[in-house]
Amino acid sequence: MAQVSGKVLYPDGSVPKGGICTVQFVPISAVEVRKAATGFIGSDGSFEMYTRKPGDGVFLGEYAVTFAVWKGPRDPTSLIDEKYTASTTTPYKVKIDGDKTDLAFEIEPARGVAMKRGT
């Protein structure tokens, strides 16, 4: 397994904020175990991926990268453009063949959602 981390930001450099903010790696090729990996987006935009428990990393393979930025845990209103929420429409794909600590993703807010720099 590989240790994978990076940052998620809006185009203006601000951090996506919401009650739920995650990155998910959805397998698109044969991997040792076809299991998605998840990471929570921190207050500075950073994330660290895990498969079963924090710190265990990601199985080697190819993944579609999806994102969830919801208003709240009980309000799944998406605050980001829908294209980033599904493995079939996300523009981001990654090949994990070893540790990666510098992944960077830029996502766009949903129409009508204002980006807030520095918040």
pLDDT value, residue 118: 45
Q: How far is CA 21 from CA 8, 33, 34, 80, 98, in A?
A: 10, 25, 23, 10, 25
Q: Where are the domains of the chain?
A: 4-106
What are the Cα distances from residue 32, in Å, to 1, 19, 28, 42, 60?
Answer: 9, 32, 12, 28, 7
The pLDDT, as a whole number, for residue 82 is 96
- Mind listing the pLDDT tens digit of every residue in the chain (119 residues)? 999 999 999 999 999 999 999 999 999 966 556 789 999 999 999 999 999 999 999 999 899 999 999 999 899 999 999 999 999 999 999 999 999 999 999 999 998 776 555 44
- Which CATH number, 2.60.40, 3.10.620, 1.20.120, 3.60.21, labels domain 4-106? 2.60.40
In this prediction, residue 115 carries a pLDDT of 57
